[in-house]
Amino acid sequence: MNLRDLKYLVALAEHKHFGRAAEAAFVSQPTLSTQIMKLEEELGVALVERTPRKVLLTEVGREIVQRARDVLNEVEQIRLIARRTLDPESGTLRLGIFPTLGPYLLPHVIPQIRERFPRLELLLVEEKTEVILRQLREGRIDAGILALPVHDQQLHVEKLFDEPFVLAVPEDNPLARHRSIKLDDLADQNLLLLEDGHCLRDQALEVCQLAGAGERSGFRATSLETLRQMVAANVGITLLPVLAVKPPVARVEHVRLVEFLGRPPARHIAMLWRKSSAMHGFLGDFAELFRQLPDGLLDPGIDPT
C-alpha cells in the first residue's frame, strides 16, 4: 500500500467513474483500475462494486476512503509545515466562502491581501456552507469564511465581524416612506427568501421569527441578485446584508433600502480552519486582514439620495 494508491481510491470515490477518476489523477484508466485491484488483493477485501453504468464503493470501501482522506491530509500537512518553515507567507491557500458574501466582501479585501502577502497564491472556492464545511473537514480546502453558528469541535473559529441587514422594499411600498423602521414593523409581513441550502435563508428566517414575519409562499430565489430584481418588480420585500448594497454594487431602480432602528439584525462572520492545521499561525494573521475593512463599510446607514 502506498500514498499513490490511496489517492487513486479517493479519486474514484469522488468521481464514481474510472475514466473521470483517472483523468483527475493524471493517469490512464487501465493504470488506475489495475492499482485499485492490487490494493483490493493486498487488503483482501472488495473496495468497489463495478456495475455497467457506475462505480459504487462497498461498505468497507467507504470506511477505508475516509481513513485514506485523513492520511492524505496529514501528509499534506507535513508538506505544509516544511514549506511554511522556509517561507511562511508563500505557497497556496485554499479558501472557501459562501455565495451571499464572497462577491460583496472580496473586492474590499483582495487588494490588501495582495499587498500584505505578495507571494501567496489564493485559490477561492465559492460554495454553500455545508459544502465548505465538508471540504474543510476532508482537507480539500485550508479555511472557510462562514456565518456562525458552526458546531464542530475539530474547527478553530476566528470571529471577524458582524454584518447588519437592511430591508429592501419596492419604491411604492408603504415601508419605503420610512428611512428607518423597528423590527416589529415587519410583523405580519411576508418576505422573499433564498432557496434551501443558503445560510442567509436560515438567518432571514430567524429574523422573521423575531419580528413575527413570515415567508412569501410559492417563491424561493437562487441568489441575492434574483431577490433584488424581484423587489424591483414589486413582487415583495426582503432582507439584504449590508455589504450587498454598498459600492461597488450598483443600485437597482425602483428599490428602496430601509435601515433598522437601534441594534439591527445581523449575521456573524468568522473564519474557520482545522485545529490540526499546520497553517494555524499564518491563518490567524490572514484573518486579521478581514477585520480591517474600510471605515463605514459595515455601517447600515443608507444614503437617501
- Chain segment 134-182, per-residue pLDDT in tens: 999 988 999 999 999 999 999 999 999 999 999 999 998 888 888 888 8
The pLDDT, as a whole number, for residue 190 is: 83
Residues 6+ apart with CB under 8 A from 206: none
Does the predicted TM-score (pTM) go above 0.85?
A: no
Domains of the chain are 3-82 (1.10.10.10), 88-161+267-291 (3.40.190.10), 164-266 (3.40.190.10)
Given a contact cutoff of 8 angstroms between Cβ atoms, the answer to whether 145 and 96 are in contact is yes
214-267 pLDDT tens trace: 777 667 777 889 889 989 999 888 899 999 999 888 888 999 999 998 888 899
Quote the CA–CA distance of 124 and 140 in Å, as a whole number: 12
The pLDDT, as a whole number, for residue 76 is: 84
Q: Which three cell numbers stand for residue 5?
A: 494508491
61-91 pLDDT tens trace: 999 999 999 899 888 878 877 776 667 677 8
Listed residue (58, 81, 74) closest to 3, CA to CA: 74
pLDDT at 304 over 60: no
